Chains A and B, each alone.
Chain A
Amino acid sequence: EDQVTQSPEALRLQEGESSSLNCSYTVSGLRGLFWYRQDPGKGPEFLFTLYSAGEEKEKERLKATLTKKESFLHITAPKPEDSATYLCAVPPGTGRRALTFGSGTRLQVQP
């Protein structure tokens, strides 16, 4: 059974203070990994797909990286509008249909 674990559970940063969020996974064959952002009361917003170890994707202040066992979401010089819950998920395995999500990291960026 696929398992996805995110850490830390919550993170408070000052504006401009860079940091990284971790997503470790156990899957039967790497099929890729997704990062989402979820604002309170909203659905998850898709950010990135990473398909192979060593791959990197960037969007504004966010950069996602992937190894064979984990993924990192690096946040460079964050702003208050980056405050949200960040979720990672792995695609469904053979015969399954649901994404397997981690429990998320609640990020708060203070001005």
Chain B
Amino acid sequence: SQTIHQWPATLVQPVGSPLSLECTVEGTSNPNLYWYRQAAGRGLQLLFYSVGIGQISSEVPQNLSASRPQDRQFILSSKKLLLSDSGFYLCAWSGSSFSNQPQHFGDGTRLSIL
């Protein structure tokens, strides 16, 4: 069966520091991968998606970037964190067809910027 791992679970970082969140998927090949942010009391906002190694698409302009160095590894990064980057970050995967397939989420990373 497929599993998705995200780490760390929680992170407290000072403003201006760099960020690296990692996500890996097991039990499937060539998945579509996603990074979402969930703000308190609000819905999930798609930040990035990837259909393959090195292929990244951004949904919204922001201070963050994403990379996919391996088929089942997805990384969310920032060179300098802003206060507004605080939130709950979720990685997800789906089969290699966008339509009509559910996305499966990791347990998320709670990021607090001080």
Contact = CB atoms under 8 A, between A and B. Distances in A.
Interface of A: 31-32, 34, 36, 41-46, 49, 51, 91-92, 97-99, 101-103
Given A31-B99, A46-B104, A98-B34, 9 more contacts: A42-B107, A43-B107, A43-B108, A44-B105, A97-B32, A98-B44, A98-B45, A99-B44, A101-B43
What is the predominant secondary structure among interface residues of chain A facing chain B?
Answer: loop
Contacts of A92: 98-99
B101 A91 contact: yes
B46 to A, nearest CB: 4
Interface of B: 6, 32, 34, 36, 42-46, 49, 57, 59, 90, 92, 98-108, 110
A98 B46 contact: yes
Nearest to B36: A98
Given A43-B90, A92-B98, A99 B103 contact: yes
Given A97-B98, A98-B59, A103 B43 contact: yes
Contacts of A99: 44, 46, 103
B110 A34 contact: no
Nearest to B103: A99
Nearest to B109: A43
A53 B105 CA distance: 26
Contact of B106 (A31, A43, A91): A43
B34 to A, nearest CB: 7
Contact of B108 (A31, A41, A101, A102): A41
Nearest to B89: A43
B46 A97 contact: yes
B100 A51 contact: yes
10 contacts: A34-B102, A43-B6, A43-B105, A43-B106, A43-B107, A45-B105, A91-B98, A99-B44, A102-B43, A103-B43
Contacts of B32: 97
Contact of A91 (B45, B90, B100, B108): B100
